[in-house]
Amino acid sequence: QKEVEQNSGPLSVPEGAIASLNCTYSDRGSQSFFWYRQYSGKSPELIMFIYSNGDKEDGRFTAQLNKASQYVSLLIRDSQPSDSATYLCAVLGGTASKLTFGTGTRLQVTL
Amino acid sequence: SQTIHQWPATLVQPVGSPLSLECTVEGTSNPNLYWYRQAAGRGLQLLFYSVGIGQISSEVPQNLSASRPQDRQFILSSKKLLLSDSGFYLCAWSLYPGLGEKLFFGSGTQLSVL
């Protein structure tokens, strides 16, 4: 079982819709969760982080964490073509002292 | 503000040749420094990290090595490249290690070993 799992996609959503990206993790002791956005050929950029169960909102982005079910989600409201990228989930804590990344979900926002 | 510089942006090297990738950070002191590799269709793999000058931790056994000769300089090297060393290499820095640690990445080096 992979430590951090994401559906590779592509996830295709129309412009203006809500994009929902999901991530599950295997280490129940994980405590910190991060979402990075990576455009093709570019380096990852941190866009959200969450430590507590529940929702955390920042502009059009909402991170959701459910430690009991071991999943973390990223919602993007009013999706724009510029949101088209690969979104990497990263997890820290538990048995891992360093960030563990998922393989990412490719999001395509269509006009 | 802090910035991270990584070069070169692209590199094509023959098998068996040496490698040297350099990364420098500006605007901060005593950062944690990292080298990651991203192969096609795979997640980011941590190769090395450093918490200070001369202090290097290796996460994955391989033919690569890292050095930190100065506080804000991190170098990735190889004496003889393998085909499997191809990938997107990323340098990153962070402050305040721990559960709140946030990584900031350089622009990356696309390495093709032929």
> What are the tens digits of pLDDT across the range B22-64?
999 999 888 999 999 998 777 899 999 999 999 999 887 678 9
- pLDDT value at residue A57: 97
> Is the CA virtual torsion B90, B96, B98, B102 positive or negative?
negative
- A76 has pLDDT over 90: yes
| CA dist B6 → A105, B31, B90 (Å) | 26, 15, 8
CB atoms within 10 A of CB A110: 11
Contact assignment for B101 to A41 by CB distance below 8 Å? no
Arithmetic mean of pLDDT over chain B: 91
pLDDT band at A94 (very low <50, low <70, confident <90, very high): confident
For residue B99, name the pLDDT band (cuts at 50, 70, 90): low
Count of A-B CB contacts under 8 Å: 46
Mean pLDDT for all residues in chain A: 94
* % of chain B exceeding 90 in pLDDT: 72
Instruction: Encode pLDDT of A5-33 as tens digits.
Output: 999 999 999 999 999 999 999 999 898 99
pLDDT band at A1 (very low <50, low <70, confident <90, very high): low
Q: Report pLDDT for B102.
A: 86
Please report residues of A whose CB lies closer than 8 A to that of B106.
Answer: 43
CA distances from A86 to A89, B8, B13 (A): 10, 23, 27
pLDDT over 70 (residue A36): yes
Among A7, A101, A103, the strongest candidate for a mutation testing the B interface, having the largest count of B CBs within 10 A, is: A101
Are B46 and A104 an interchain contact pair (Cβ–Cβ within 8 Å)?
Answer: no
Query: Nearest CA to CA, how far is B16 from chain A (Å)?
Result: 26
